[in-house]
Structure 1
Amino acid sequence: MTQPHIVWLRRDLRLADQPAFHAAAALGPVIPVYVLDDETPRHRRMGAASRWWLHHSLEALALELEAAGSRLILRRGKAAEVLATLAQETGAAAIHALRHVEPWWRMAEKELAKALDLRLYDGLYLMPPGSLRTGGGTPYKIFTPFKNALIDAIGEVDVLPAPRLSAPESWPASDKLDDWALLPTTPDWAGGFREAWTPGSAAAHARMEEFKDILAPYRQDRELPSIDGTSRLSPHLHFGEVSPRQLWHAIAGMGGQGPGFFKAELIWRDYAANLVLQFPDYGARSYREGYDEGLWRDPENDQAAAADLAAWQQGRTGYPIVDAGMRQLWHTGWMHNRVRMIAASFLVKHLLIDWRQGEQWFWDTLVDADYPSNATNWQWVSGTGVDSNMFVRIMAPLSQSEKFDAGAYIRQWVPELGKLSDPYVHDPESFRCRPRDYPAPVIGHKEGRERALAAYKAMKG
C-alpha cells in the first residue's frame, strides 16, 4: 500500500500553481486538509468578514477537488496537534504545505516539524520572503530598492497547472463545514457580501480576465472611487484562490502604464511579507520609538475619544468621503484603496486615535484582512512604520474627495446625501446644505490638523 501525503491548506486554497499539491501528487495519494485553528493565532483569530469568505472558499475548493477525484478533509483545533493526529490515523508519509510568514504560523510550522516530516514550499508571494538582500547582505527595509531588486530578480514567470490527484485507499473522517458556523445568522449581516463577491478559484480567474480589460488606464482609474477601476482581487489573493505569480504571468507583455502600476502593488504585498518576517509583531507594535508616548487619545478612558472612534466605525463622522468608505466596508467587507488611505489618515491624525484601533477594526471587517499588508499599510499612514508617510503630512479628506471625483461614490454609500450634486456633496457643512439626518463633522479640518500637529510637537518634546 502506498502511503498517502497530506497537503495542509491555509491561505492557499487552489489547485493550480500550488507547489505543495504538486509535490505531494508526485509522491502518492493526496489527502488535502484544512484545519480551522483559532488557538494558534491567539489574539489574531480570523475576523468575522474573513470567516464568511473562508466558508464559501472552502465550499468552492471542495467542489474543485471532487471534480478532480479527490475530497477536502476539514478538522478543527490546534493545527500542529490536529495534523499530527491525522498523520497517525492515515499513516501519512509526510505533510506538505506552503510556507507562511505570519508569526503564529511560523510557530506552528516549527512545532509540527519537530514531530513529523513537514515539507514547506514557497508559493504565496512573487519571490520567497527573505530571499532578496541588499548589497550588504541584510533584508530590505525600504520599498523602492526592494521593488527594484525584485524586478531584477524575478525574470520570466512560469506557473504550474493543476496536478492530477490520486485518492488514498480510505478517507479519514471530516467535519461538516456548516458545523463550523462561519456564516452570520442572528443577524445575517452578509447580504451585501453576497451581492458583491463570489469566492473561489474560478471566480478569481474570471475577475482576473475582467480586470485585464480595464488594466490599460489602471494608473488613473484606480484612484477614482466612483468607477470600477481597481482589480478587486485582494480577497482572492489573500485566500490563495489565485497566486500573485499567476497574475504577473497573465499580464506579461501587456503595454501601457497600467500593468506596471499593478505589478508595483503586487510587489508591495511581497514587501509587507518581507517586513513581517523581520518584525513579527509589526501588527501590534510601532516600529518608530516614542509614538506610543502621549500622542494618542485613549477610547478606553476618554469618552470623547470613544465617541469619535464609534463615529468613525459607523460612518458617522460628518466627512462624506470617510463615511462612504466606512459604510462600504461594513456593507461589503471591502473598501476602495484611495478611500482606505483617507479614512485611515482621518482616524490617526484628525481624531488622534492609535493606528492599532483601526488595524483591528479592518482585521475584523475586511474580507481581504491580511496581516502583513494590513499592518504595513496602517503603519505607513500613521508615520510609525519602517518606510512610511510622515505623520505631519495630513490628508485633507474634503479636498481629496473632490480631487478624486468621489461624488457618485458618496451618493451611493451615504443616502442622506443622495440628492446633493457636486461640489456640495463633498462638503455639505461648508456649503450650508447639510441634511438634518446627516451628522455635523466630529471636528473641523483646520482644528483637527492643528491638534494633530500640536500633539506631534509635544510628543517630540
Structure 2
Amino acid sequence: MKSTSLVWLRNDLRLADNPALSAATRREGRTIVLYIDETAIGVRPPGAAARWWLHNSLQALEADLAGLGIDFTVRHGDPALIIAEMVADEAVSAVFWNRRYAAGERAVDAAIKAALISSGVTTESFGANVLVEPWDIATGQDKPYSVFTPFWKTLKQRPIAQPLPRPDAGISRQANQVDDHYKEPAWAEKLSGHWYVGEAAARRTLADFLDHRVDAYPEGRDFPDCEATSGLSPHLRFGEISPRQIWHAASMVAQMAPEKAAAIDKFLSELAWRDFSYHQLYHRCDIAREPMQAKYATMSWRQSADDLAAWKSGQTGLPIIDAGMRELWETGTMHNRVRMLVASLLTKNLLIDWRLGEQWFWECLVDGDVASNPASWQWVAGSGLDAAPYFRIFNPVTQGGRFDAEGSYVRLWVPELAALPDKWLHNPWEAPAEVLSAAGVKIGETYPAPIVDLKASRTRALEAAAAL
C-alpha cells in the first residue's frame, strides 16, 4: 500500500519554493494539502480584510493544486484534533509544514509534532517564510539583535538559500469550491476592485515592480501619490511568494542592470526589515500586547472613544491623516509614509494606546502581518526596538506639505477639500474665510475642525514620555 503524505499550509499558500510541499511530493504515494482555519489558543486569527484575501487566495491555491493532481482540503477547528483525525482516516505516514514564529504558534506546532512522532508518524518542519531563521543570526555577544542596521549588515553577508521549483505535475483534476466559511465580510467585497490575489498575481507584481518601478523606489516610496512601492506585502503575508524568491529575483536584476543596484539594495533592506520584525516576534514576549521597552508598560495613555472613532473614520480634521485612514478602509492598505503619520498622531498627539491602533490596522489591512504590524506600531510609538526616538513626533501639516505638495493624495481621498489651493490644503482651518468659501468648504460642517492642537499635544506627549 502506498503511503500518504500530509502538508499543512498556513502562511505559505504557494507551490514554488515551498519546502514542505516539495518534501511531500518527493515521497512515493499520495499527497494531501491541508489548510486549517485555526481555533487553537495562542494563534491570532486574521482580521476581517485579511480573511477576504485568504478566501480568494485559498481558491487560487485550490486551482493550482488541482493542476498538479494534488488533493486540497480546508477545515475549521483545533489543528491537533483535525490532523490526528486525518492521519487516522487517510492512513497518513508523514506530515510536513513550514515554520512559523510567534510563541503561541510555536507551542501549537511543537505539541502536534510531539504527538505525531510519538505515534510513529514522520514529522518535519522547514524554514520557508523568512530569509534567515531567527535563531541563526545573532550579535557578536550571541544575543538577539535590537538595532536594525547591524542586523541588516550581518544578513547581507549570509548566503540566502535558492528558491525551490514547483513540484512536478501529476494528473490534473477538477478543483472544488473553497468552503463558504471563508467568505469575506460583506463590507470587504469592495477590496476586489483593488487587488489581484494568488501566486501567479504575486509573480506578476514582482516582475512589474522590478521592470518598471524599482528605479524610483528609494525616493518615490515616501510620496503617497507616486506608484513606487512594490505592492508585495499582502502576497508576502500569505506566502503567495517567498522572501527568498524576491531576494534572488531582485539580486539577479541588480547584476544584469548595475544602474538599478542601489535602488534594489534599498528595496532589499526593507525586505530585511520584515525579517527584523520576525526576529523580534521570535525573541520577545507577545509583541502585539507587550511593549518591547519595559518602561512603556507604565505609560499613561488617554482614554477617548471620540478621538479614537474620529481617527478610525478619517474625520480628524487633519487632511493627510484622514486621507490615509480612508484609503485603509477602502483598499485594505495604506501608503507606508502615511502609516507612520497616522500612527504618530494616534500614539503621540492623541496619546492613545498603540495597541488600539494596531488592532484596527489588524482588522482593516489585507497585509496585516503577525510580526510586521505590531513591530511597526511599537516602532512609531517609541516602545519598540530600534524605535523612533520618543521626541520624534511627525507633524501632519509639514509632512503633508513635503510629501504631498500638490495635494494629489489628499484630493483623491478627501474630495471635500479638492477645490482648496495647495497652500491651504493641509491646514484648511487656517485658510482665509474667502478662500474656504470659494472652495465650498465650511470647517466644522463640510469638513471637521482638527480634533487636537498639534503644538500643545506635542508638548503633552514629550512630557508623558519624559515621565517614564
Partner Cα separation in structure 1 for residue 190 and residue 78 of structure 2: 32
TM-superposition CA deviations, 1:193-233 (whole Å, max 9, x none): 11111110011111111111110110011111012111111
Of residues 308-317 and 175-184 in structure 1, the stretch that sits farther from structure 2 once superposed is 175-184
2:310 aligned residue: 311
1:163 aligned residue: 167
Of residues 8-17 and 134-143 in structure 1, the stretch that sits farther from structure 2 once superposed is 134-143
Give structure 2 stretches of 5+ with no counterpart: 117-121, 255-259
Of residues 253-262 and 311-320 in structure 1, the stretch that sits farther from structure 2 once superposed is 253-262
Partner Cα separation in structure 1 for residue 41 and residue 79 of structure 2: 7
**Residue 165 (structure 1) shift:** 5.3
Of residues 271-280 and 136-145 in structure 1, the stretch that sits farther from structure 2 once superposed is 136-145
**Residue 136 (structure 1) shift:** 1.9
**Residue 386 (structure 1) shift:** 2.2
2:183 aligned residue: 182
Contact 2:148 2:386 in 1 (8 A): yes
Of residues 66-75 and 196-205 in structure 1, the stretch that sits farther from structure 2 once superposed is 66-75
Identity of aligned residues (%): 41
Which one of 190, 204, 209 corresponds to residue 192 of structure 1? Answer: 190
Partner Cα separation in structure 2 for residue 264 and residue 431 of structure 1: 41
Of residues 112-121 and 3-12 in structure 1, the stretch that sits farther from structure 2 once superposed is 112-121
Secondary structure at the aligned position of 1:291 is classed as: helix
1:39 aligned residue: 40
Which one of 133, 156, 172 corresponds to residue 138 of structure 2? Answer: 133
1:329 aligned residue: 328
Q: How does 1:104-115 map to 2 (within 5 A)?
A: 104-115=104-115
C-alpha RMSD of matched pairs (Å): 2.0
Contact 1:74 1:176 in 2 (8 A): no
Secondary structure at the aligned position of 2:265 is classed as: helix
Partner Cα separation in structure 2 for residue 362 and residue 123 of structure 1: 25
TM-superposition CA deviations, 1:153-195 (whole Å, max 9, x none): 135x522110125589x99xx99634314312xxx22243111
Partner Cα separation in structure 1 for residue 140 and residue 223 of structure 2: 39
Q: How does 1:50-449 map to 2 (within 5 A)?
A: 50-116=50-116, 117-154=122-159, 157-164=161-168, 177-184=178-185, 188-212=186-210, 213-253=212-252, 254=254, 255-298=260-303, 305-405=304-404, 407-432=407-432, 433=436, 434-435=441-442, 436-449=445-458
1:18 aligned residue: 18
TM-superposition CA deviations, 1:355-409 (whole Å, max 9, x none): 1011111111110001111111011101111221111111111100111126111
**Residue 423 (structure 1) shift:** 2.4
Contact 2:287 2:375 in 1 (8 A): yes
What is the TM-score with the length of structure 1 in the denominator? 0.93
What is the number of equivalent residue pairs in this alignment? 445
Contact 1:5 1:92 in 2 (8 A): yes
Contact 1:30 1:166 in 2 (8 A): no
**Residue 54 (structure 1) shift:** 0.2
What is the TM-score with the length of structure 2 in the denominator? 0.91
1:301 aligned residue: none
Of residues 159-168 and 198-207 in structure 1, the stretch that sits farther from structure 2 once superposed is 159-168
1:9 aligned residue: 9
Secondary structure at the aligned position of 1:136 is classed as: coil
Partner Cα separation in structure 1 for residue 196 and residue 207 of structure 2: 15
1:452 aligned residue: 461
Partner Cα separation in structure 1 for residue 448 and residue 465 of structure 2: 28
Contact 2:333 2:366 in 1 (8 A): yes
Partner Cα separation in structure 1 for residue 465 and residue 141 of structure 2: 34
Contact 1:30 1:165 in 2 (8 A): no
Partner Cα separation in structure 1 for residue 2 and residue 286 of structure 2: 42
Partner Cα separation in structure 1 for residue 301 and residue 220 of structure 2: 34
Partner Cα separation in structure 1 for residue 204 and residue 176 of structure 2: 30
Amino acid at match of 1:192: K
Partner Cα separation in structure 2 for residue 167 and residue 355 of structure 1: 51
Partner Cα separation in structure 2 for residue 215 and residue 229 of structure 1: 7
Amino acid at match of 2:454: H
Partner Cα separation in structure 2 for residue 338 and residue 15 of structure 1: 33
Contact 2:67 2:171 in 1 (8 A): no
Partner Cα separation in structure 2 for residue 290 and residue 280 of structure 1: 15
Amino acid at match of 2:40: E
Secondary structure at the aligned position of 1:177 is classed as: coil
Of residues 447-456 and 57-66 in structure 1, the stretch that sits farther from structure 2 once superposed is 447-456
TM-superposition CA deviations, 1:317-370 (whole Å, max 9, x none): 011111000000001110000000000000000100011011111111110001
Contact 1:31 1:167 in 2 (8 A): no
Partner Cα separation in structure 1 for residue 58 and residue 45 of structure 2: 18
Give structure 1 stretches of 5+ with no counterpart: 299-304
- 4+ runs of 1 displaced by more than 4 Å? 165-168
Secondary structure at the aligned position of 2:296 is classed as: coil
Aligned CA distance change for structure 1 residues 327 and 400 (closer, same or farther; 3 Å): same
Aligned CA distance change for structure 1 residues 175 and 214 (closer, same or farther; 3 Å): closer
Contact 2:51 2:182 in 1 (8 A): no
Contact 1:25 1:166 in 2 (8 A): no
